[in-house]
Amino acid sequence: MTREQLLEKVKTSRPSVTVVGLGGAGCNITTWIADKKLAGGKIIGANTDASHLSTMTHADKLMLLGEKLCKGHGCGGFPERGSEAARENMAEIKAELKDTNLLFLVAGLGGGSGTGAIPVFAGVGREMGALTIACVTIPFTIEMTRREKARDSIKALAENCDSIVVIDNSKLREVAGNLPLKEALAVANALVGSFVKNITDTITQPSLINLDYADLRAVMERGGISSIGIGEGDGASRVEKAVSQALSTPLLDITDISNAYGVLIHIVGGEDLTLEEVAVVGEQIMEKVPNTKRVIWGAKVDPGLAGRVRVMAVLTGVTCPFLDVGLRPAPQLPKEVVKPLREAMEHMARAQDVSYPRETISRAAVFSKEK
Ligand SMILES: Nc1nc2c(ncn2[C@@H]2O[C@H](COP(=O)(O)OP(=O)(O)OP(=O)(O)O)[C@@H](O)[C@H]2O)c(=O)[nH]1
Ligand SMILES: [Mg+2]
């Protein structure tokens, strides 16, 4: 193979990513992502509400769902209408998702359009063989009946998704403080949005440590519920602070983090982020989640973050008392699914052209050893 052919291969083998925002909340979240620029992914806004959809100025494609059924108005909180509306657009949905490898479906559950349409899109995604990840919020405890509705729809969604990343709006207070509703929702939008953007960026763009599509598949494809925790730290113990915050305030109540099926760790730091710090993040998180070998990494330098470290930990296949969704039977997994940290760090060291501290190497070797 010539170098040109190889470069062409790199280009064509890059996974294609599609992000679909469904319903009012879903479209608001994808607008956040589009504003931050999503390199290497296509953004689709889909809603039954024409007027809300028209506010999505940066999407690559807008889909008015159920034009005949809803006539450009919303679904008034009825998910059955949302499903029927989406089915009206089936041919268009199939055409848009045709070549997608990684599909993010984003919605705020509890209303009609997003809640009803998301399982329809998920069904198409799975049928097309895409790794299908739903990213949803569940309503505040005060929205009682909406919350019940959201719970039912997650059960239905589990049939067709590889993973469902859930953020409970009620948990936002713990991370964001007692904010007025509009601001609390904006925090939720930023959280779901950064999850989607972080993964897409590290898969499609050269990063410090690249997340690999096959690895992502290994931690996400068995389904179930995933919970996200985020943390940020500065000063001498910035890594410890960021990790303990990320693990102590998951955005969904889960019973036991030590039993997670897989872990995805994403680290962002300024130019001063060191290899040692990246290793310490891994070590601390893996101490808390000792029962899994499925741990994948992404790390990125953001020059605007000087002095600080930001950690996002995604725990997949967790148990949540409110949701009661289990894992699907195990697929044929490759024997070694843990991306060896040592390999990743060697790559990182080469990219940064720094020499490798001895202590870090031995630590990394511990991570990559089969447990
Ligand atoms: N994160 C986030 N959640 C929101 C936002 N707006 C509403 N929600 C939540 O999402 C749930 C569903 O609301 P919408 O997305 O407006 O509903 P929809 O899917 O458009 O459904 P219909 O309007 O009934 O057709 C609400 O119960 C809220 O909990 C938002 O901007 N961000
Ligand atoms: Mg709406």
Q: Is residue 211 part of a domain?
A: no
Mean pLDDT of 7-18: 77
Q: Is residue 77 part of a domain?
A: yes
From 20, 27, 28, 105, give the residue whose CB has the most ligand 1 atoms within 8 Å, as the site to mutate.
28
Instruction: Render pLDDT for 29-57 as a digit per residue (tens, 0 to 9).
Output: 999 999 988 888 999 999 999 999 999 98
Does the structure show a pLDDT above 60 at 11? Answer: yes
Q: Does one domain contain both 240 and 193?
A: no
Q: Does one domain contain both 41 and 97?
A: yes
Question: Which structural domain, as residue segments, surrounds residue 194?
Answer: 14-204
Question: How far does the centroid of ligand 1 lie from the alpha carbon of residue 24, in Å?
Answer: 5
Q: Is residue 141 part of a domain?
A: yes
Helices then strands, counting H and E runs in the chain, come out as 15, 10
Atom of ligand 1 lying closest to residue 116 CA: 19
Mean pLDDT of 316-329: 73
Mean pLDDT of 185-207: 85
Q: Does one domain contain both 65 and 185?
A: yes
**Ranked by mean pLDDT, which of 86-90, 159-163, 189-193, 286-290 comes out on top?**
86-90
Q: Does one domain contain both 257 and 185?
A: no
If you average pLDDT over every residue of the chain, what do you get? 82
The ligand that comes nearest to the alpha carbon of residue 82 is: 1
What is the three-class DSSP state of 184? helix
Q: Is residue 263 part of a domain?
A: yes
User: How big is the CA angle at 10 (ends 9 and 16), to the nearest 5 degrees?
Assistant: 105
Q: Does one domain contain both 196 and 65?
A: yes
Q: Does one domain contain both 308 and 348?
A: yes
Instruction: Render pLDDT for 269-289 as a digit per residue (tens, 0 to 9).
Output: 888 888 788 888 888 888 888
Q: What's this model's pTM, rounded to 2 decimal places?
A: 0.86
Percentage of residues in the chain having pLDDT higher than 90? 34
Q: Nearest 5°: phi and psi at 134?
A: -90, 135
Q: Nearest 5°: phi and psi at 265?
A: -115, 130
Q: Is residue 87 part of a domain?
A: yes
Enumerate residues lining ligand 1, CB below 6 A: 23-25, 28, 48, 74-77, 108, 110-115, 137, 139, 143, 146, 169, 185, 188-189
Percentage of residues in the chain having pLDDT higher than 70? 84
Alpha helix stretches (DSSP H) within 128-180: 144-158, 172-176
pLDDT band at 345 (very low <50, low <70, confident <90, very high): low
Instruction: Render pLDDT for 86-99 as a digit per residue (tens, 0 to 9).
Output: 999 999 999 999 99
* Residue 172 burial class via C-beta count within 10 angstroms: exposed 0-12, middle 13-18, buried 19 and up: buried
How many domains is the chain built from? 2
Mean pLDDT of 183-205: 86
Q: Which range is least confidently modeled, 44-53, 63-72, 128-137, 286-295?
A: 286-295
Give residue 358's pLDDT. Answer: 34
Q: Does one domain contain both 151 and 250?
A: no
Q: Does one domain contain both 84 and 138?
A: yes
Give residue 366's pLDDT. Answer: 34
Give residue 360's pLDDT. Answer: 39
H or E element at residue 213: helix 213-220
From 140, 153, 185, give the residue whose CB has the most ligand 1 atoms within 8 Å, as the site to mutate.
185
Q: Does one domain contain both 97 and 186?
A: yes
Q: Is residue 9 part of a domain?
A: no
The more confident residue out of 152 and 68 is 68
The residue type at 58? H
Q: Does one domain contain both 196 and 237?
A: no
Q: Does one domain contain both 92 and 145?
A: yes
CATH of the domain at 194: 3.40.50.1440
CATH of the domain at 300: 3.30.1330.20
Q: Is residue 146 part of a domain?
A: yes
Q: Is residue 328 part of a domain?
A: no
Mean pLDDT of 100-126: 96
Task: Compute how many other C-beta atoms are within 10 angstroms of the C-beta atom of residue 202.
Answer: 23
Atom of ligand 1 lying closest to residue 78 CA: 24
SS3 content of the chain, % helix, strand, coil (to 5): 45, 20, 35
Q: Among candidates 224, 223, 216, which has minimal Cα distance to 195?
A: 216
What is the three-class DSSP state of 40? coil
